[in-house]
A and B are shown apart, each in its own frame.
Chain A
Amino acid sequence: MNMTTETINGVNIVRLEGSVMLGDADAVRAAFRRWFEQASTPRVVVDMEKVDQLDSAGLGALVYAAQLVRDRGGDLSFACLQKKARLVFEITRSYKVFDIYATVDEAVRAQPA
C-alpha cells in the first residue's frame, strides 16, 4: 500500500494505491495519523482510484481516518472508487456514512469552504 498527498484548492488529497487489507490497515492508520497531525486543513478527499482490494480491516482504517478528520471539525470524502471498492462500500452500507464522488474535482468542489 502506498499513500501520497497533495493539496488542491486548499483541500488535502490523499491518494491510496494497492490493497487496503488486514496486513496494511495498521500502516494506513499510522501513516494517515502522522500526516494528518501536520496537515494544514482538515478538509480531506481520499482518492481511491488505485485501490484494488479492500476488506473489513481496511474499511476500519478508513473509518478511523474519517473519525480523526471529523474530530478536528473537518470533512472527509471519497473519490474515484473502483468497482470492487464500490461494491464493498455498497454491501457494508458505508455509502450511507461517507460522501462518495465520481472524480477528485467533484469531491474538492463539494468540500465546505
Chain B
Amino acid sequence: MNVVFHTGNTPDWAAPLERPWPLLPVGNRPWLEFWIEWCVARGFTALHLVLGDGAAQVEHAFGSGERWGVSITYHFVRDGQTPAMFLRRSPDLWRDGLLHVAAPVFPRRADDQPLTPLDDATRTAGEPSAPAVFYSRRPVDIEAYINDAAPAPVPFAANELLAQPLATLADYFDLNLAMVDGEIARYLTPGYRREDRAYLGFNVVYPSSATIAAPVMIGNDVRLRGLATIGPRAILGNRVIVDRQATVTESLVLDGTYLGPGIELAGRIACGRRLIDPADGTAVDIEDTHWMAPLRAVGGRGEKLRRLGHCTAALLLWITVAPLAIPLLLLGMIGGGRFVRQPLLGVRGSFQPLVWRPGRWSPGLIERLSLHDWPRLAYVVRGDLWLSGQLPVSPDEEAEVRDWPAYRPGLFAYADMRPDREDPVLRRIEACYYAHHRGWGEDVRICLFGWWARVTGRNHRIDDREVPA
C-alpha cells in the first residue's frame, strides 16, 4: 500500500499563515503528523509526499519518516501538473494499493474508539468527481482513478476516516479550539504532559504570578512573564514569548511569536507580526515590535558594531578596575586562592579561560564585586566572549547549543540574576528570550543587574562548577 500526499496545494484561506498546509499546526502539532499517525495505525508505511510551495520546510519537518517508523519519499510536481497527472507518471507503483490524499483535508476522528480496519473495497471522500481522498487495493479501480475515470464511490465509515474539509480560516480555528477543548485525546499521544487539561510542552517557564487557565495547550520552549494570563482555550506554539501582563484567551499563537507587555488576544490568531481575525479572515500586520513580532534570531546588521562596543567597554573596565582588582586578587592568592583553566565554549569555539578558585582566606569582596572576572575581560577584548549575553557552556554541549536560536557567551548573563544559574531548562529559554530582546539596552541591563545580583549575593557563588582534572 502506497500513500501519496499532495502538499503543494495550500488553500487560499491559509495564505496569511504563511506556511504549507502540512505544517499548519492543529492542536500544536503539524497537520500532516495526524495523517502520518493515521497511516501508522493502519500499517501503511510507504509514504510519498508530492511537494510544491514550501518544499524545503516540509522536507525539513518530516525528514525520512524514521520518527514514525515509516519511509517518506519526496517528489516534485511541475507547474500546472494535477495530482492525477503525477500518479500517471509511474502507474505501476500504485498497482498494489493506493491511498491518495489529493486535497488538504483533516483526518478527524468522530470518537476515541479504535480505527476500523479497511477492507478491499474502494473508498473515496469528498466530491465524487474529484475525491479529496481515494483508497483502493483493486488494480482496476486504481487504474480508472489515475486515468481520471471516477470509480464507483463508497464513502468511508466514520471510524475509518472522517475526512474533514477545512474551507475557511474559521473552520481551521474552530478545529484548533476543539482540540484544546479535549479532542486531542482522541489522537495518538502527542508527547505533552497532560494535567488538568493543560497540555504543556518541554521547557515551559513561567513565574508564579502568571496564570494558566485550562484548557490550554502550550508548546516547547515557551516563556511567560509576570502576570501573564494564558487560557482558557488558548494554544501557544513552540518558541513563544508572552510578555508581562499579556492575556491570551480563545486564541491561537503560532510558533516563534512574541507578544508584548499588556497585549490582549481574544479570539484571534497571532502569527509573528500578523494578527488575524478568524471570523472573516482579515489579516493585519502590526508594525510595532513592542506589541507583536516574529521572534528574532541574533546576528545580521550591527553585529560588528556591537562587537566593537563590547570590546571597548571591556577594555575601559579592564583599565579602570585594575587598581582595585590587582591588589585584592594578590591578597586572595596569598590566602590560597588561585586561577585555574576551565574549558568553555566561546564565540570562536572552545577555549580555556582562567577561572578563580577562592582559598580559605580569600576576601569575599573579590567575588561580590566580580573582581575575579577582571582577567576574563581580556577574553572579551580578544573576541572569545561578549561582555553580556548567556552563560558560557562547556564544549561537550556544543551540539545542543547549535539548536538554540542564540548562543552569545558573555561575562554577565541572565543566569547571574537568579539563584539557579546552571539550570539547563532556563538556559534554553533564555536563549530564545535573549535572541529576541538583544540590543544595546538589554546588554547594559544584563551587565548592571547581573553585577548587582552578585554584589547583593542573590545568586550562587560564581564559577562553582567542577573543574576537570
Q: Which A residues are closer than 8 A to B by beta carbons? A: 21, 53, 55-56, 83-84, 87-88, 90-93
Cross-chain contact B262 with A88 (CB below 8 angstroms): no
- Taking CB atoms, residues of chain A closer than 8 Å to B268 are 87, 91
A91 to B263, CA, bound (A): 5
State the total of A-B contacts with C-beta under 8 angstroms: 37
B274-308 CB mask vs A (1 if < 8 Å, else 0) is 01010000101011101110000000000000000
Given A55-B288, A56-B290, list of 14 further CB < 8 A pairs? A21-B287, A55-B287, A56-B288, A56-B291, A83-B284, A87-B277, A87-B282, A88-B286, A88-B291, A90-B264, A90-B266, A91-B265, A91-B268, A91-B286
A91 to B188, CA, bound (A): 35
CB distance from B286 to the nearest CB of A (A): 7
A55 to B275, CA, bound (A): 13
- Chain B: interface residue total (CB-CB under 8 A): 16
CB distance from A48 to the nearest CB of B (A): 14
Among B242-285, those with CB < 8 Å from A are 262-266, 268, 275, 277, 282, 284
Given contacts A91-B265, A91-B275, contact A53 B287 (CB under 8 A): yes
Cross-chain contact A92 with B262 (CB below 8 angstroms): yes
- Taking CB atoms, residues of chain A closer than 8 Å to B288 are 55-56
- Taking CB atoms, residues of chain A closer than 8 Å to B275 are 87, 91
The chain A residue sitting closest to B285, CB to CB, is: A84
Q: Which B residues are closer than 8 A to A by beta carbons? A: 262-266, 268, 275, 277, 282, 284, 286-288, 290-292
Cross-chain contact B291 with A92 (CB below 8 angstroms): yes
Cross-chain contact B262 with A93 (CB below 8 angstroms): yes
7 sample A-B contacts, Cβ–Cβ < 8 Å, listed by A number: A56-B291, A83-B277, A84-B284, A87-B286, A90-B266, A91-B286, A91-B291
Chain A at the B interface: SS class: helix
- Taking CB atoms, residues of chain A closer than 8 Å to B263 are 91-92
- Taking CB atoms, residues of chain B closer than 8 Å to A87 are 268, 275, 277, 282, 284, 286
A23 to B268, CA, bound (A): 28
A-B CB proximity, top 6 nearest: A55-B288, A84-B284, A56-B288, A56-B290, A93-B264, A91-B263
A84 to B264, CA, bound (A): 15
- Taking CB atoms, residues of chain A closer than 8 Å to B284 are 83-84, 87
- Taking CB atoms, residues of chain B closer than 8 Å to A84 are 284
The chain A residue sitting closest to B287, CB to CB, is: A55
A88 to B275, CA, bound (A): 9
- Taking CB atoms, residues of chain B closer than 8 Å to A83 are 277, 282, 284
A83 to B283, CA, bound (A): 9
- Taking CB atoms, residues of chain B closer than 8 Å to A53 are 287
Q: Which of B262, B264, B265, B292 has the most CB of A within 10 A?
A: B264
A87 to B263, CA, bound (A): 11
- Taking CB atoms, residues of chain A closer than 8 Å to B282 are 83, 87
A87 to B275, CA, bound (A): 8
Q: Which of A84, A87, A91, A92 has the most CB of B within 10 A?
A: A91
The chain A residue sitting closest to B286, CB to CB, is: A88
CB distance from A25 to the nearest CB of B (A): 11
A91 to B262, CA, bound (A): 8
CB distance from B418 to the nearest CB of A (A): 29
A42 to B320, CA, bound (A): 58
- Taking CB atoms, residues of chain B closer than 8 Å to A88 are 286, 291
A12 to B142, CA, bound (A): 73
A84 to B284, CA, bound (A): 6
Q: Which of B275, B277, B287, B292 has the most CB of A within 10 A?
A: B287
The chain B residue sitting closest to A58, CB to CB, is: B288
